[in-house]
Every structure is written in C-alpha cells, then in structure tokens.
Structure 1
C-alpha cells in the first residue's frame, strides 16, 4: 500500500505482482471480512507512525482459523514511510518474498531527487561506493528509455501546489544491471513552503519484460550529432530535466551535477520559458554557472517543440566565447 500522504487515504498500488490503480484495501481483501480489513488498515497506520516491521494475529470470521498479518515499511531517504508491504495468511504460513519497492522524493525548489534505501543498488545497479542519495533530474532521466505518459507526470511536476497524483510505467536502464520495467507512483505535497513530490518505484520486470523506446534512442542520436549540448525543458516548470546530448567541456559536468547559477542570472531561463509560452518565438539567452570553481558562461537557444498539456522546449547549450 502506498502511504505517500501520511494522513491518508492509503491505497493499494499492487496486489502481489499485479499493479493496481489507487485501489481500496477493503476491495482487495474483502474475502477476509470487515473486521480483518480494519485490522489490516490499522497495521498500515501503525507502520507509518513507527517506521518498523509489525505483526498481528486476528480472526477473520467467527469459527474460522486465526490469521497472521505482517506490515513492513518502505522508507524514504529521510526515514519517512512511503509504502507498507502488507501480508495476511494462516498463522503457520510463510509470507512470500517481498516485491522490489523503493521510495524517492523530488524537491521542486532544490531540483533534486532523494533516493530511498536500496534504490541505487536494485535499479541503478551500483556498488555501495558509487551510490548516491541525491541526484539531479538529468541524472535520472538520461537513464529512462521509455516513459509512458511523460507529459502527465511533468504536468504534475509543474503544478505541485495542486496536490495531484500520477501513476504510470517507465523503462529504466541501470548503469550496472540492464533494463528494468517499473511501475511509478507519484503524489504532490506542499509541506510548509516546500514543493515536494513523494514517489515509489515497483519493479515489475518479471511480469512485463522491458523493451527500449526506439524514438528516444533516435532522438538522443540526432541530438549528439548536432555538436551542441541539448536538454529537454519542461517550460511551465522551467526545468531542464534530461540531457539528450552533453554540452562541450567545461559545461559537460552539467550532465551529472547541478551547477550554481549566478545570482544575477537566476531568472534568465524562467523568463525565457515564460516568453516562449506566450509567443512561441525562440529565445537566445546567456547565463553564468559554476561547479565548485570559476564562473562559466553558457550561451543557449530555447525552442518550443510541443504544445500539449505539458509544453516542452529544447535548449541548445554551448560554452560562451567569453567565459565571464
């Protein structure tokens, strides 16, 4: 069950290996009776509060055998519970192996993703020494070779304040362990002044073997042939989230690091996105960034490439002839 909104409602997003769409636990386990369902909901709530594995024993119906319930939390990078593996069965039975479910968070203000325990090893295929807790959007998106309803997810990112939710599937290319087919769950939240999306990845490669998205592979090949850095930009969020081709050195660090933008240039990209949303005219911009070193000037051209629910642009980036 996902518990992305701490106060609920909490919903079933997978029943065993079968993905579900925000389903009711009462519907998923109606055969055990109303009292059993209430106890299952209770164990989920206690797992969220205590962030530890819990067990309980219950009687589904008068005269029936006793059942054991088990709740195992799925923790985020901050230790919050984003989901709970729930199992119910005869007291003497052994629960099946848990599905691969991993938590993540996206901070829209910091433009950083925070990877929950186990995610980097299972999905990225990285050894402990190479694993990260924080990743930029481009670091994650460059490994996605297929993204069903990408537009719907980016619309959620652009409108975090609306508190919406999204569910879909992606095909992810791990650096050390090949392709993964993932059920992806996301809910927007606005705690305090922060704009955050809480999410889950559920590994479903065993039931839906992944296949690469030829269109994205072709698009990346064309982008690399251009000679410039080429980034996809979600225009409404002014978010550069995927490098289709890396920029030339010394800006090539941008592919794996989020640079500091000069304080005088922080609104340059956002202003260009707003102008292109208003009139569709390509925008030439220049701004300064740095990666723990000297300021580097980047020259760029922003072009609108889609007019759908989450309009997109391509940003062609190259080091400026003047680096001040």
Structure 2
C-alpha cells in the first residue's frame, strides 16, 4: 500500500519531502520518491494547488488509474506549512495518517505560534490551548536530543535558509512519551506593517511511541541530569540569547513567580529598564570570563523580582555561544 508523503512548503510553495509515512526524509526532492513521470506531474500539480488554495485536492490521475489526494497542513487560514500527499489505485483507500502539527517561532518578537493540529498532537486540554506563547514555552514538552545545541545555534544566528531536522521525545499532557520528527527552516518575511521579521517555520510529526523509535532520546539526557543535580535548592538554570537577552529555555523547573511564558493576562517577560545596562555589560563580559550581577525581572503579578544571576558562556557550535544563567532570589 502506498504511504503518505509529507512535503514542506515553509517558503510559500511546495518544496522537499520531509517524511514518507513515519520515516523522516532529509529534505529530498519529490522525484526521489515518485519515479514515474506521470505520477510526478500529477503530484506536483496537486501539491501546488493545495498549497496555493489551502484546500483539499482529491482527483483522478491524468491516466485515470490512480487517485491523487493532497491535504494542506495549515498554520493559519492564510498559510500552509506542508501538504500530505497520497497517490494510490482508484479502488484503494488511503492508509491512516500520522499526526502532524504546524508551528513557527517568530525570532524577532520571541513568540511561538502553534496550530490546532499541533495542540492535538500534544494532547493539550481545551482550557490550555493558547495558540501563542513565548518561544521558551515551546520546550516544556520536549526532551531534546544531542543535536539541541545545533538547533539553538541556528535560532541565535537566525540565518535565512537555515534548516534543521531532529527526532525529539514529546511528553504529551497525558504523560505519554512519543517520538516527534521536527523539520523547519528560517525565513525572512515582511509583516502587514512592512516590518522585516525572522521566522522559524516548521512541522512536527508523531512517528510512534518513544520507546519504539531508536532515534528518540530518553526522558532525560545525561548533560541535563548533571546540570539539574548540581543546582542547589532555590537555584534555577536557564539558557539565554546573549544578543537579545531573551530566555531561550529553562533547564529544569522555571523560577516560580517570574513572567516568562507570555500568557494572556500576564505581563510580557522583561528585565527592568533601569537594569538593562547591567545585563548588557554581563553579556559582553562573558566573552572574557564568568560574571554575575543583580537584576529585576518582571513577575506574573506585574511587580519586579530582584534576582542574583551567575552566568557562564555556553558553546552551541564552533561559532555560536549563549549564556548559561543560574538565577536565585536576591535578598
């Protein structure tokens, strides 16, 4: 039985194949999967229509022997992130589809946007279905693999055209552990107000139980076990973008009471304006040595929390660094 083909359209038009059934594919041309010229032409026409109209395409092939079905995966009513494609005999029903969800990180505004399909994949309860959160919130359900530093380096560098694929473990809200295949690309776009924004557009596909997929990492990788074990009571660890001073992710539990998720009804994450110069000096000093200082962070109640921050340089790749911050409440 033919399998569903997942084709990305992160840049606005049908691009490369990122999955064949539950098997990830590394941005390969569709012609590598469909060798028959007639099938390839039918598929390309259906993909282009589905991506352009953001509507289901279901029709017979040009020779009448096969069914062509293209289902767009939407991130919004105006934008598709991928298309699920199936081509099979006219008398054969398509196989079950793997769960897939769309998302993007707005690296300019530090916002993460999630589709309804992704919230379904994560098993999120109706009362918790906020479509937009701070980027750091996107990591709360993820157990990343050893390629995480590579992914974070791409976020920090924000180079247009950068792509990333990974198999990470998803801890659903019902505590089920699933293997998630992530595929994404950095795109430069202009918003409705003419502002240039850097977006990391991607999709996540459920490819099976985490225990059944060898590429899925265990619930806690060794490096994070060591970092969490070395934290004293009242200490909280975070990875910070040294360019923007924005939180990338927490390592272990987040500091209680601090506004970091950017949820509706909460103030946005923020360093007190009078303390920005201190934070920027700390960021620059990390190029030479470890540093520490006292800052005020916005609380979820709208007030300010004085914290002591000890920071060390964290190497993400050969050319990219971040800050590893240890945060404690200041007296």
Match of 1:200 in 2: 203
Deviations 1:81-131 (A, max 9, x none): 0000000011121111111111000011221211111212322x2221222
Q: What is the RMSD of the two structures over their aligned residues, measured on CA atoms?
A: 2.6
Residue 227 of structure 1 is matched in structure 2 by 234
| CA distance in structure 2 between the partners assigned to 1:184 and 1:57 by the alignment | 31
Question: How far apart, CA to CA, are the structure 2 residues paired with 1:46 and 1:4?
Answer: 15
Aligned equivalents of 2:115, 2:255: Cα separation in 1 = 32
Residue 76 of structure 1: how far off its partner (Å): 0.8
**Residue 163 of structure 1, CA deviation:** 2.7
* Counterpart position of 1:20: 25
Which residue in 2 is equivalent to 1:107? Answer: 106
> Is this contact kept in 1: 2:101–2:119, CA < 8 A?
no
Q: Within the alignment, does 1:244 sit opposite 2:247 as a pair? A: no
Worse-superposed segment, 49-58 or 234-243: 234-243
Q: Distance in 2 between matches of 1:280 and 1:315?
A: 13
Q: Is the 8 A contact 2:182 2:203 kept in 1?
A: yes
Q: For structure 1, list consecutive stretches of 5 or more residues without a partner in the other structure.
A: none
> After the TM superposition, which segments of 4 or more aligned residues of structure 1 sit over 6 Å from their partners?
none
Aligned to 1:175: 173
Equivalent residue pairs, number: 311
Displacement after TM superposition at 1:274 (Å) = 3.6
Q: 1:1-324 to 2 correspondence within 5 Å? A: 1-7=7-13, 10-30=15-35, 33-59=36-62, 66-77=65-76, 79-123=78-122, 125-192=123-190, 193-206=196-209, 208=213, 210=216, 211-216=218-223, 218-219=225-226, 221-222=228-229, 224-235=231-242, 238-246=245-253, 249-251=256-258, 253-254=259-260, 258-266=268-276, 269-276=279-286, 278-291=287-300, 293-306=302-315, 308-309=317-318, 310-321=320-331
TM-score normalized by structure 1?
A: 0.85
Q: Are the aligned partners of 1:143 and 1:174 in contact in 2 as well (CA < 8 Å)? A: yes
Kindly state the Cα deviation for residue 237 of structure 1 after the two structures are TM-superposed: 5.6
Which residue does the alignment assign to 2:3? Answer: none
Deviation readout 1:290-319 (Å, 9 max, x if unpaired):
435223333312112436334233212233
Distance 1:299 1:41, change over 3 A: same
When the two structures are superposed, what TM-score results if normalisation uses the length of structure 2? 0.84
**CA shift for structure 1 position 224:** 4.8
